[in-house]
Chains A and B, each alone.
Chain A
């Protein structure tokens, strides 16, 4: 199984642990993820706020480079941007022409784009994940947090049930984790305001962390670099501001899978987590 991988800038930088664990887990599952040759920014940071054409042309350039291969994406923001570009180009012949002019090649907007979760849950399948699991995540109570970008808008991303997605639940369950039902799977963490108005982010992440705690979670599993950063990096600040104690490690789902597969801490980049998962993992006899 091979996919043209689009890492995006986050996975190269702040979310390098996501990147690491993705690579390690893919390897364990026999999944080939060669990067798209010469990939560039997807346009999700500033382009889509400032320049409508650029916001479509940037992803189009990348998708052209994928040369018709199914594209695999890990970052939810990249995923959203690439999918949006596809949606707009496929439904707007005018735009398609303009983009062709910019990119230097006609692009039909039909390249298949999948998030890692879709690949793991649907293409790889639970059986393989269960087979690859050496240390089942027994006794770890996880809330899955998908954030707002993966499933919305549903007509564009066509990811899963937009309000109650379950792909991550299935994947982690196959690795032996206990998935808790909670209502904030797709709540917004406020990443859009990470730079401009942090008070909004704090308010939103507090709500998510508090709900996860109330649901009885030991940790949170994420599938987006921005979500992970907001929930993990700001957790201490949020605790201070609200006077609550969360102490909830915020994993990438690939890290949890890697732990179940018996991969090393280093391969999974566990050291990068701000809220330390060490005690939790030690208590459950995992990743010693």
Chain B
């Protein structure tokens, strides 16, 4: 097929020069940064035959524009105009979108680069995710929403915004594990269950704890909580009470359970081996649970008559109620655990006997129950007890009476328990003796505190040396005072005795609680412990050991950790796999993600009063209430971001969540790279005097934009963040971070004046009567139609523009109003209060771009933007790498979009020979002719997980639809869009010979093309498909009324079926393309476009009305930055003239233009002779002119001249060798008369007054000419360079040196150029009283100044070209009120005209600088390539058709069509030109004879739907 041929087959051949240079070139381009700039570049490239890799660092494309509510000056909804572009990108088969990707490096050279990329994990399988959002609903973790600039929150699994592309979710995870989670020896996911409690998901929290902790309620009471010691919250106030939250979750669940039943148990699979566990404490119980889950039969041997080990013997009931312990142990036991009580190792059985009995593995977890002796003299006296010997019986409920005075020796938890138990056993006075200080006590601080509360006394830094006894019974304890010396091996300071400090404490009982060791026989011990390796295996094969018997007295959580580990080691051992080794390495932990989090005190649990405590063993702490638990859990900082709680995994129907996804790197070969990384906003808090981040009602402009957005954090309500109250008065402070070299950036951010004005206008729409002040230095409304917008805001809507830079904002106590202090232009101080202050934050290069640039080897300018030249604005410092958008210089959307297309064109020039070599084209089977077949409709109804199915009864809808005539197949699918469903649909089409397809699911906007593809691949015409949206417009909006929603879905379904039965196959036409361009205008824009297209291999006809090329550029000699414009122009003309693909037609004007995209016929008159040129696209580059004026004595006084005339003189003086005869002027442009006054410029100290905005920005010419401020400054600086003593005064309305040109303004002021602002209403007056005199009223002070310059220089601005109305008529292309051509869309199609195939660049569009014109001209080449690179253009099926029978040739259709598609043909009948028709239906509706049909929307199809809804209602039921 001809479509497959290389692109240049039709008349245009590849340029010889290029193909020789890049033999191995790659026909692919990488675009880095997927904001609107990157998107536009990608679309242009992909549409022109290049493979595109669109690389984006964030999770979605759309960039900064997706954050905007509206755009200026048109007031379009930003999302509404951006979203179609996003979808277009996603649908384009030749654009690979690579999100979460960073550039790692680049090698190679232009034409053949290899770029290394690193893609961060999304943790979601993009091929499975269908964006139903169930994961996000389930997710308990709320994080600050960076998209809304922390004005609201989002979930850890999220989509940045609703229309995000790729249309999938992603998960945010920190680098490193949450410290709490990393700290837990047993691997309990602390952040996870805390997050679940915070979300009120208590049962889920319990389930998550249970995964790694078999005793949640026990652990929730007595754990030593290493999680809390590591909690990042402790930097701010106190750690989150992680343990107490675990207790709460368990208690909450148990309170609702019927405790008599045991949860049903099902092992993963059943294993034949038996395992013996010796010891029924926490380690043994944990191992028993894990092993039975793995399918082993377990026998649990316990020496005592009860299970629980140290939990029961060591921990008193006031800390751990027995019913809690019993219940949780009971839950672990199941039919696969054989509990054998009163069976002691070494006595009742041995390791060998167990082996003989058939146990394949043995786990010894007998604990440490033997109290350590102290060997004090006299410790054999009656009344001296050891910790466990006392606590054991007490904890088993026995009475162990205590004397009045009890002394406890030791500082651990057992000592505290012994002391407190002694109180409960009748002791009146209990003293704890401990040899170190309080800080060194190993007991939990809360234990020590509670002991103190109960009246326990502490003798710290005290060591017992002797038990004093009388008649064999203890009477006291002799002690020695200690002091702390050097730290010992444990890092604690070693206690050293103080000589001679002996004293005696009276005692009736002494309890020694200084530690325990293993109490075990029949197993070899080392230091009182069993030696086990990292897998907990002992020296004996098949025998494992863990818990206190290995560790010595340790904690519950360590015992559980050993239990888990032993179980997995035993499982591995029995399965012959390598045994896992305990990981003792410290895990990398995540830092505090929110160091500025608000201080919030820890929730305290209610305790029973002290008086009640010591009477018995009732539990002291009564647990959190649900409210307290949620409040406490909300203190969590979510250090790991995602808590990995697993709820999303459970919620995700398609199973798309992959928590252990890893980053990956890949290398991609491309011919060229385009950088479009966009910008970051200035961090407003750096201007500390405005209090952003400190004062609630001070927002950045980005935050305010989000507030205005209906999809933003307040759903578009303008309210005070401090109290949510309505806003009555707003102040905007401009230039925060811009035009401020001290604390921000020296450049102007270009967009903020308009952006603030727009935000003001939108806010006014939201709030009636809002009082808005904008504090600014200048109002920089320099773009097309911008001044009109600002004027409307000021004059019609009362927005105040106050010329002042406020010095301070303070927050008023109480009201939290923001008070702004400023000095007005007269110097008076004001302190005004506002409900809201918005800081217009400037643009700066994005944070990561410096790094990327370094990796690419690119130069950046002094501010960190990409270094470029004004004469090559898209070329980065390395050949083959191009730049566009705000990374080049701060700029607005249309300029960015134009640069994007321009950068695409630059890339195409080098890669033209390999165009089309890497793109995919789809082959479809022959279409089945279904014209004569009866309708055989197949219906597929989507559940969309439960997005639809949970509200709409899809079965019922299917049943109802299935009864309709013509239906041969009906089914419902869980996800109709999945790959398997698509395959299934194809199978059904084949099997049941379906010839119409109806899908009821989500939005056609995103999914219609997918199903149409499936039809085409099945050999059916794509128009035989109807889709109805029963999700967005039904289940989502009516989720509270399932019945009505089902009814509505049925109605929608029936209508879709009725329509489907009437659908016809439509042919999509093909239109051959003439692969050449006609460029009107031989100035900078025209020549640049011509060269760019010529270099891509397309033939170009360049028509210039004058006898010479060059246009207005001939009058510009140098730029503000000092580039040599004249040299550039000469070079450009030479290149154009000798280019083999460009035919230059001088003194040529168009006479008639006919045809349409791909095939225009233009009659031109060239030097008096007419000829016709046939071409595929047309480019308007007809230029503009300097405005002529007679104001200010121009042309009447020799000392008055325009900026251009001054520039010419300065240029000649600067380079006297330049031809002194200026280049010829266009006809109609007068050269100013020879002037004697101007001779003064030759003096040593000439005095010059420049007047800006001459005959501009007034009622007659309300627009700004954009370039004059910079031109005046450029010339003033040149004059000062040539004549340092020259006096230059500039009279201006606003200085509009946007972007980096602001530096020129700064330089000029530094050079002594004086700037005086005059008001719109009071123009300066120039008089000639022998000498020139200029009177001006200073707009600030109001005082009148009189100046007597030698020379007055006028900035007269740029006027549209005189021919514009004529050309506008020939092309049927509209002009703006100012007389410039009107682009197709001012934001997103800045160089397209309304009709396809027609483009526009340079001054024909609007006043602009050289670099901006070059960008636009290149952009036109990029856009034109999307047409010229094709052999054929497709004509859509949905176009209008005229039935000529009834046509009266009234031409109504011709008049109403916005696209110029209808014409009256040679048969005197209307005819629609398919290539121009956009399928809007305007002609169909307007045709008085009803003889025009809009295909695919035919009357029969629409009435069938209405009939079904209104006439046949109920017929199918």
* Chain A interface residues (CB < 8 Å from chain B): 161-164, 182-184, 211, 214-216
Contacts and interface: CB of A to CB of B under 8 A. Distances in A.
B813 interface: yes
B484 to A, nearest CB: 16
B689 interface: yes
Contacts of B813: 182, 211, 214-216
Contacts of A211: 810, 813
B814 A184 contact: no
A2 to B, nearest CB: 24
Interface in B659-701: 688-689, 691, 694-695
Given A183-B691, A183-B810, A215-B813, 19 more contacts: A161-B688, A162-B688, A163-B688, A163-B689, A163-B691, A163-B694, A164-B691, A164-B694, A182-B813, A183-B695, A183-B811, A183-B812, A184-B810, A211-B810, A211-B813, A214-B812, A214-B813, A214-B814, A216-B813
Contacts of B689: 163
Interface string B689-721: 101001100000000000000000000000000
With a 10 A CB-CB cut-off, give which of A163, A164, A211, A216 has the most chain B CB atoms: A163
Contacts of B812: 183, 214
Interface string B802-816: 000000001111100
A214 B812 CA distance: 8
A163 B688 CA distance: 5
A272 B695 CA distance: 36
Contacts of B811: 183
Interface string B778-819: 000000000000000000000000000000001111100000
Top 3 nearest A-B pairs (CB, nearest first) are: A163-B688, A183-B810, A215-B813
A246 to B, nearest CB: 14
Contacts of A214: 812-814
B806 to A, nearest CB: 14
A182 B695 CA distance: 10
Nearest to B831: A207
A9 to B, nearest CB: 32
Nearest to B689: A163
Contacts of B810: 183-184, 211
A184 B813 CA distance: 11
Contacts of B814: 214
Contacts of B694: 163-164
22 contacts: A161-B688, A162-B688, A163-B688, A163-B689, A163-B691, A163-B694, A164-B688, A164-B691, A164-B694, A182-B813, A183-B691, A183-B695, A183-B810, A183-B811, A183-B812, A184-B810, A211-B810, A214-B812, A214-B813, A214-B814, A215-B813, A216-B813
A183 B816 CA distance: 11
A183 B691 CA distance: 9
B495 to A, nearest CB: 21
A182 B813 CA distance: 7
A183 B837 CA distance: 15
Nearest to A207: B831
A92 B814 CA distance: 48
A182 B814 CA distance: 10
A152 to B, nearest CB: 11
Contacts of B688: 161-164
Nearest to A212: B813
B813 to A, nearest CB: 4
Contacts of A184: 810
With a 10 A CB-CB cut-off, give which of A182, A183, A215, A216 has the most chain B CB atoms: A183
A182 B694 CA distance: 10
A120 B925 CA distance: 82
A144 to B, nearest CB: 14
Interface in B969-1020: none
B670 to A, nearest CB: 45
A183 B810 CA distance: 5
Contacts of B691: 163-164, 183
Nearest to A151: B688
B818 to A, nearest CB: 9
A183 B812 CA distance: 8
Nearest to A163: B688
Nearest to B818: A183
B647 to A, nearest CB: 38
A235 B810 CA distance: 22
A211 B817 CA distance: 13
A172 to B, nearest CB: 15
Nearest to B819: A183
Contacts of A215: 813
Contacts of A216: 813
A216 B689 CA distance: 22
A211 B814 CA distance: 11
A281 B710 CA distance: 53
A162 B688 CA distance: 8
Contacts of A161: 688
Interface string B890-927: 00000000000000000000000000000000000000
Nearest to B811: A183
A157 B691 CA distance: 21
A216 B812 CA distance: 12
Contacts of B695: 183
B235 to A, nearest CB: 12
With a 10 A CB-CB cut-off, give which of B691, B695, B810 has the most chain A CB atoms: B810
A163 B689 CA distance: 6
A275 B1482 CA distance: 83
A161 B687 CA distance: 11
A7 B812 CA distance: 36
Nearest to A161: B688
A211 B691 CA distance: 16
B1476 to A, nearest CB: 61
B1141 to A, nearest CB: 58
B823 to A, nearest CB: 15
B601 to A, nearest CB: 14
With a 10 A CB-CB cut-off, give which of B689, B694, B812, B813 has the most chain A CB atoms: B813
A163 B691 CA distance: 8
Interface in B540-598: none
A184 B688 CA distance: 13
A215 B811 CA distance: 10
B868 to A, nearest CB: 32
B225 to A, nearest CB: 22
